[in-house]
Amino acid sequence: MHNWKKLGRVFDPREIGNVEWMREFAQAPSVLMFDRFLRVYFSCRPLPDKNGQYVSYSGFVDFNRHNLFEIVRVSEKPILKLGDVGTFDEFGTYPVTVIRRGDEVIAYYGGWTRCESVPFNVAIGVAVSRDNGETFTKPGDGPVLSYSVDEPFIISGPKIRRFKNRWHLFYIAGRKWILADGRPEPVYKIRMASSSDGLNWERHGKDLIDSRVEENEAQASPDVFFHNGRYHMFFCYRYSSNYRGKERGYRIGYAHSHDLEHWVRDDAKAGIDVSEEGWDSEMVSYPHVFELDGDIYMFYLGNQVGRSGFGAARLEGKLT
Amino acid sequence: MKWAKLGKIFDPTKHELPNDCHEFAQSPQALVFDDFVRIYFSTRQRDPVNQKFLSHIAFVDMDKNFRNILNVSTGTVIELGGLGCFDEHGIFPMNVVGVKDKIYAYTCGWNRRVSVSVDTSIGLAVSEDNGLTFRKTGNGPILTSSLHEPFLVGDPFVSVINGAFHMWYIYGTKWISRPGAEAPPDRVYKIAHAVSHDNRTWIRDGRQLIPDKLNPDECQALPTVIRHNGRYHMYFCYREAIDFRKNSRRAYRLGYAWSDDSTHWARDDGHAGIDVSEEGWDSEMQCYPHLFRCDDRVCLLYNGNEFGRHGFGLAILEE
């Protein structure tokens, strides 16, 4: 079992102050390394509208590279505009994942639209920054990875990686909507696509991770990290219904692979679980693993899927 | 091109239709058998949840003179999609294509949105019973929104040319919101083309195929293509983006383009050879054309007034 030492919560959007677009939530942290600081992208929300509906924006927080508890800066405005009327990202840009390409920073993100019979649908968009990741512009109004024959809806949760000179996008694809007490709830599974240019994607077309807690288990945040000669994936999973509390809410799972296609799920090795009390006592989710000056860290969300921000853990021992 | 109008050949209000459908026989599309022609169309049911329309596919079998109705479908031809699927709220239109021993259906699936009325994507289904029923190849679409075709991908028409699948279709370019207007946003869409060698992976040209005639907000729909006398001919319909439902001058008309290589098209509406009638069922608009060959005749199915609420008609090419 991996041994993660929890360091506590490092960012709480509610403490930032009077920022209209960042009232609460700091979801799906994604790291971009700089010489002197660590930039962490996340998705946040203004207060809900009069119907209780949210939009989501993405921003970033810069931490002192040598002290993750020291906030150097918080983005003054969202990094990305919401889409125009009728486009796939009209109501939200969540989550965001970033990677460098030469002098540019490329972001992939889930774009949210609202539907009539189900509450929402998601497709993956791309945006480019030429100012070190401060602002991003979209090359087009539509998504780069949208619905397909066997991935009919909710194409979301992107994690962009480059291994052996090829782009890999780990993401989730909706399998079905189930009705729980009359309320539509989505079931989604972890998938992968690869690309030579980052724009045209070839889907792998299979679930990467077996379902464990139930057939309709929902899986998210497939965070892949190469270390010690193998690929490690930390992700999160939950039950299909009544998952907003502790018992059936998100937990962090683990799998490993030698070739990115075949994965062995081994949640017992994940090494991180809910705390006895505090900000992550009901759920842990949306892990993101990165290496910083010789140590391996994980950012992750706590209760209510990041409503009160994200925390950090440091790996003690090895990732094997 | 010169067409002889045969008039309206099918009126949905005179028949009992499956799926609790009433009125509308939109976007007629033909599958020609040895001794009859099966014409698929989209008809409408009222959604019991909210009284909005749900479009279903039905068909009518006619003799080859298009005078006698042999049969009207009584069962479900193709199921609408499940909860949250791209074709949950309707299939309209459906293009049926025989390729060797297979019968494929390329569907335009509708699902309702909140800030705009609807989005569409293109699906694929296969028939194992001579076109009586179709089974989808998956719950999702084969062609949908992409970077430069952001929404409203629909109206597929497929033709196999030299072993390759060619699809002409439409994609949305914008939704027009009028500040202060009570009406929901109006859509603008254009004709495009994609090609596939395996009927699975489609490569888009990535450009608007047919230039606008009215203005940049012209809406172009339902391209249909046939090869005749050594040249490719395309019909489609086009209209103004707003005030197009009741105002006949701004409503759908049939447009025409030709090509010698099926890639480069010249728009030439002046040679369409067909227009609205002085009076009658197609006097206010013409829309949703479908070209097909029946024995040695080139035929054109299309809808008239009110987008086909009262049926469809046929014209035969004279020269």
* Tens of pLDDT, residues B66-100: 999 999 999 999 999 999 999 999 999 999 999 98
**Chain B CA closest to residue A86:** B116
A86 touches chain B (CB under 8 A): yes
The yes-or-no verdict on residue B110 having pLDDT over 80 is yes
The yes-or-no verdict on residue B277 having pLDDT over 80 is yes
Is there a contact between B137 and B148 (Cβ–Cβ < 8 Å)?
no
pTM comes to: 0.96
Interface test with B, best of A120, A147, A187 (most B CBs within 10 A): A147
- Residue B53's nearest CA partner among B309, B310, B238, B311 is B309
The b-or-e profile of B254-266 (16+ CB within 10 A means b, else e) is bbbbbbeebeebe
Residues A293, A287: Cα–Cα separation, whole Å? 19
pLDDT at residue A17, as a whole number: 81
The yes-or-no verdict on residue B319 having pLDDT over 80 is no
In this complex, the residue of A143, A144, A153 whose CB is nearest that of residue B85 is A153
- Mean pLDDT of the B279-293 span: 97
Interface of B with A (CB under 8 A): 81-86, 88-89, 111-116, 119, 121, 123-124, 137-142, 144-151, 172, 174-175, 177, 185, 187
- Whose tokens are 């008609």? That residue is B313
pLDDT at residue B178, as a whole number: 82
- Structural domain harbouring B169: 3-317
pLDDT at residue B180, as a whole number: 75
Verify whether the Cβ–Cβ distance A152 to B148 is below 8 Å: no
Verify whether the Cβ–Cβ distance B148 to A117 is below 8 Å: no
Q: Which two tokens stand for residue B225?
A: 């293509």
Q: Number of folded domains in chain B?
A: 1
Query: pLDDT tens, position by position, for chain A (320 residues)?
Result: 999 999 999 999 999 888 999 999 999 999 999 999 999 999 999 999 999 999 999 999 999 999 999 999 999 999 999 999 999 999 999 999 999 999 999 999 999 999 999 999 999 999 999 999 999 999 999 999 999 999 999 999 999 999 999 999 999 999 999 999 999 999 999 999 999 999 899 999 999 999 999 999 999 999 999 999 999 999 999 999 999 989 999 999 999 999 999 999 999 999 999 999 999 999 999 999 999 999 999 999 999 999 999 999 999 999 98
pLDDT at residue A231, as a whole number: 98
pLDDT at residue A313, as a whole number: 98
Interface test with B, best of A87, A128, A185 (most B CBs within 10 A): A87
Verify whether the Cβ–Cβ distance B151 to A126 is below 8 Å: no
Is there a contact between A64 and A121 (Cβ–Cβ < 8 Å)?
no
B207-224 residue pLDDT tens: 999 999 999 999 999 999
pLDDT at residue A320, as a whole number: 84
pLDDT at residue B183, as a whole number: 80
A84 touches chain B (CB under 8 A): yes
- Count Cβ atoms below 10 Å from residue A34 Cβ, excluding itself: 12
Residue B179, helix vs strand vs coil: coil
Verify whether the Cβ–Cβ distance B115 to A179 is below 8 Å: no
- Rounded to a whole number of angstroms, the distance from the CA of A244 to the nearest CA of chain B is 21
- Rounded to a whole number of angstroms, the distance from the CA of B137 to the nearest CA of chain A is 7
A151 touches chain B (CB under 8 A): yes
Residues B239, B254: Cα–Cα separation, whole Å? 9
How much is the mean pLDDT over chain B? Answer: 96
Residue numbers in A near B151 (CB within 8 A): 86-88, 142
User: What is the DSSP secondary structure assignment for residue B271, as one 8-state letter?
Assistant: G
**Chain A CA closest to residue B204:** A200
- Mean pLDDT of the B146-158 span: 98
Residue B107, helix vs strand vs coil: strand
Verify whether the Cβ–Cβ distance A86 to B111 is below 8 Å: no
pLDDT at residue A18, as a whole number: 81
CA terminus-to-terminus distance, chain A: 9
Verify whether the Cβ–Cβ distance B83 to A87 is below 8 Å: no
**Chain B CA closest to residue A155:** B140
pLDDT at residue A232, as a whole number: 98
The b-or-e profile of B44-73 (16+ CB within 10 A means b, else e) is bbeeeeeeebbbbbbbbbbebebeeeeebb
Q: Which two tokens stand for residue B187?
A: 């859509």
A117 touches chain B (CB under 8 A): yes
Relative to beta strand B186-196, strand B203-204 is antiparallel
Is there a contact between B236 and B208 (Cβ–Cβ < 8 Å)?
no
A139 touches chain B (CB under 8 A): yes
**Chain B CA closest to residue A121:** B84
Residue numbers in B near A109 (CB within 8 A): none
Verify whether the Cβ–Cβ distance A141 to B150 is below 8 Å: yes
Residue numbers in A near B150 (CB within 8 A): 86-88, 140-143
Is there a contact between B246 and B307 (Cβ–Cβ < 8 Å)?
no
Give B179's pLDDT tier (boundaries 50, 70, 90): confident
Identify the structural domains of chain A with CATH numbers, from first to last: 3-20+101-106+115-316 (2.115.10.20)
A156 touches chain B (CB under 8 A): no
Residue numbers in A near B149 (CB within 8 A): 142
Interface of A with B in 157-176 (CB under 8 A): 174, 176
For residue A286, which amino acid is it? Y
A257 touches chain B (CB under 8 A): no
Residues A312, A41: Cα–Cα separation, whole Å? 14
Query: CB under 8 Å to A160, separation ≥6 — which residues?
Result: A97, A98, A99, A106, A108, A167, A168, A169, A198
**Could you report the predicted ipTM of this complex, rounded to two decimals?**
0.94
Give B123's pLDDT tier (boundaries 50, 70, 90): very high
Kindly list the distances between the CA atom of residue B57 and the CA atoms of A17, B22, B40, in Å, as whole numbers in the listed order: 55, 12, 7
Domain of residue B41, CATH code? 2.120.10.10
Residue B34 burial by Cβ neighbours in a 10 Å radius (0-12, 13-18, 19+): exposed
User: What is the DSSP secondary structure assignment for residue A282, as one 8-state letter?
Assistant: S
